[in-house]
Chains A and B, each alone.
Chain A
Amino acid sequence: MIILRLVLKSLWNRRGVAALTVFAITISVTLFLSVDKIRTGARDSFANTISGTDVIVGARTGPVQLLLYAVFRIGNATNNISWKSYLDIEKQRETEWVVPISLGDSHKGFRVLGTTQVYFEKFRYARKRSLSFQVGRPFSHVLDVVLGAEVAKELGYDVGDKIIISHGLDKAGFTKHDNLPFSIVGVLAATGTPVDQTVHISLQGIEAIHIGWGSGSRTRNRAIGPQDIETMKLQPKAVTAVLVGLKSKMQVFRFQRAINEYSGEPLMAILPGVALQELWTLMGTVEKALVIISMFVVIAGLLGMLTMILSGLNERRREMAILRSVGAMPVHIMALFVIEALLLSVVGACLGVVLTFVGLGLAQSFIEAQYGLYLTVSPPGMREGIVVLGVAAAGAIVGLWPAWRAYRLSVADGLVVRL
């Protein structure tokens, strides 16, 4: 095929510019595929923020709101669940395990979560992965604290350090529970979930720091110290929400109804999967915007190619006249340009696929460790094939423009180029 040979030799002759053009397309396709991978990765990891928990119980509010404060630590609970209700939930026939959650305090902007040791056993994220410790162990003493990975990293804490917990969520922390410093006994491994940004203490710890506190400030002059705690009975009076594991998934709806109809106080039970999906649809716009932006980058890459081909067109009119003189048809001249565009975009797209997989493959463990985002790097398949085909088709279509101009020029010029 003489035209293909001519295209190859011509491109080789312009290899510097051609390589840059291919590079631009490669980068744009890499970006597009990476955004796609990260988007699916983020969606999966979002959907896996919490797993293994069948039902979340909280005071009556909207499902998304309950999910937001119980799982994402965003916003505040309107109401608490009394300790009696908590015990009732635990006593339900269907209940296998319960993890209470008590929110409301913070440490340097990170939320403090009061819970029990069951939390470390039963909390699951990302397809039933359990929490693991980077260093240390779960809390066992009232004044023990376990940090999420990001908290430890950002604040530079290590096991053995002492921290003070602030009352409320104010980052400035004017009102501090500074009478009771907590000591760090463990740091969790990164999960890519809000757990990383959470400071975990026991329910008794929460209770202890609030002894002598009224609504938002100290009411008694006498602040208790660490030595007092040993002798006190620290009975929690309320929790914010309860994560519940059921004996059988079949009982989810019956359990949910039982909670919603609980007579003690108005409670609500949500299924985390359903609520997560509801929340994700809110974020779908961002996801779409990302895809659209990366598509525009691919278009920009192809426009770069168009510029290169068009700018070389005039210089190549003599070449076109020579080819016409040895018998090339105007269609051959058109093919010269379409094939060139096709070739550049196919090579660019294929290199983009390769670069994406090599790049993500290399960065995978780093991304997981840093951001807790698990990306599945599978060998290029259907999806990548479609992207390559799409870019090739778009490239060929883009190439039609210079090809048509070349066709017109070569028909008008005939054998003699009048420049």
Chain B
Amino acid sequence: MDPNDISKNSPPVVALKEMSFQWQGSTTETLNIESLSVATGERVFVKGNSGSGKTTLLNIIAGVIVPTKGDVEVLGEQLNLLPSWKRDAFRSQHVGIIFQIFNLIPYLSLIDNVTLPCSFSAERKTKALERSGSLESEARRLLEHLDLDLEKLADKPVSRLSVGQQQRVAVARALMGGPELIIADEPTSALDADTREVFLELLFQEIEDNEATLIFVSHDASLERYFDRGLHLNDINQATGELV
């Protein structure tokens, strides 16, 4: 897939323009990005070492924080102009997030963990219901696609699942109700090499089925080859200050 082709046809999913971020009380910038654009359906690999500002970047794209200067546009919505509650609502409707580890809420069942986003977003709930009739069957559909044996696992406390299983449940949750943008923050770093490959395959498959866009952040350059495009945060981040 050629990203340049797509960007001509539809507006970018994520567009950062002359954006910089500085933590309150800090004298130096953490992030300064002249321009960054991700097109619909793209799978982008963002390589960043710890301290490169990738956490801040993720928080900005997800609308948790707003840049100190410049614009951040996601799915045509200028997030830096929205109040925080609208950004929360926006995130809940349009963005699915997968963390490095500890993705699941320990006191919720496997199915409840997957359906959680639908409790915060009516749109995602509607979409899930349209697709499978009930939230539980949509959750089961996604989990089965991700090769999880529900007969064995559904009634287990989620803390008893293996890390690989937990990460796949996290993918199912991120995809639940079909958000347009999936952000994954080092989701494979806790997996061994074999599971990592299987995990990525399943992730890509599901992203494609859902016609979603993927921003995948990792420090592991060996993964870059699986993606449409790779960005190196160290190259695009022009923040001059010492890295925090």
- Which residues of A line the B interface, CB within 8 A? 2, 5-6, 9-10, 12-14, 318-319, 321-331, 414-416
Contact = CB atoms under 8 A, between A and B. Distances in A.
Nearest to A416: B55
Given A414-B55, A415-B62, 7 more contacts: A9-B107, A319-B106, A322-B103, A326-B92, A326-B117, A328-B92, A415-B99
A327 B121 contact: yes
Contacts of A13: 106-107
Contacts of B191: none
Contact of A414 (B59, B103, B119): B59
A321 B65 CA distance: 13
A9 B91 contact: no
A318, A319, A325 interface centre (most CB from chain B within 10 Å): A325
A351 B55 CA distance: 47
A275 B93 CA distance: 75
A325 B99 contact: yes
Contacts of A330: 84
A364 B225 CA distance: 81
A414 B92 contact: no
B207 interface: no
A10 B106 CA distance: 8
Interface string B115-131: 01101110000000000
A9 B59 contact: no
A323 B117 CA distance: 9
Given A2-B120, A326-B173, A414 B65 contact: yes
Contact of A326 (B64, B120, B185): B120
Contacts of B185: 415-416
Given A416-B55, A416-B185, A327 B107 contact: no
A329 B90 CA distance: 11
A9 B113 CA distance: 12
Contacts of A319: 105-106
Contacts of A324: 64, 88
Bin the interface of chain B by size.
20 to 34
23 contacts: A5-B119, A6-B108, A9-B112, A319-B106, A322-B102, A325-B97, A325-B99, A326-B117, A326-B173, A327-B91, A327-B93, A327-B117, A328-B88, A328-B92, A329-B84, A329-B88, A414-B59, A414-B64, A415-B64, A415-B185, A416-B55, A416-B59, A416-B99
Given A322-B103, A326-B117, A9 B108 contact: yes
Given A2-B120, A326-B117, A328-B88, A415 B105 contact: no
Nearest to A14: B107
By secondary structure, the A interface counts as helix
Contacts of A326: 92, 97, 116-117, 119-121, 173
B71 to A, nearest CB: 19
Interface centre among A319, A321, A324, A327 (most CB of B within 10 A): A327
B58 interface: yes
Most buried by A among B91, B112, B121: B91
Interface string B57-68: 011001011000
A320 to B, nearest CB: 10
Nearest to A318: B102
A322 B104 contact: yes
Nearest to B102: A318
Interface in B184-241: 185
A318 B185 CA distance: 14
Contacts of A322: 99, 102-105, 116
A327 B120 contact: yes
B184 to A, nearest CB: 11
A323 B88 CA distance: 11
A5 to B, nearest CB: 8
B89 interface: yes
Contacts of B93: 327
A323 B112 CA distance: 13
A2 to B, nearest CB: 4
A5 B118 CA distance: 14
A92 B55 CA distance: 100
Contacts of A415: 55, 58-59, 62, 64, 97, 99, 185
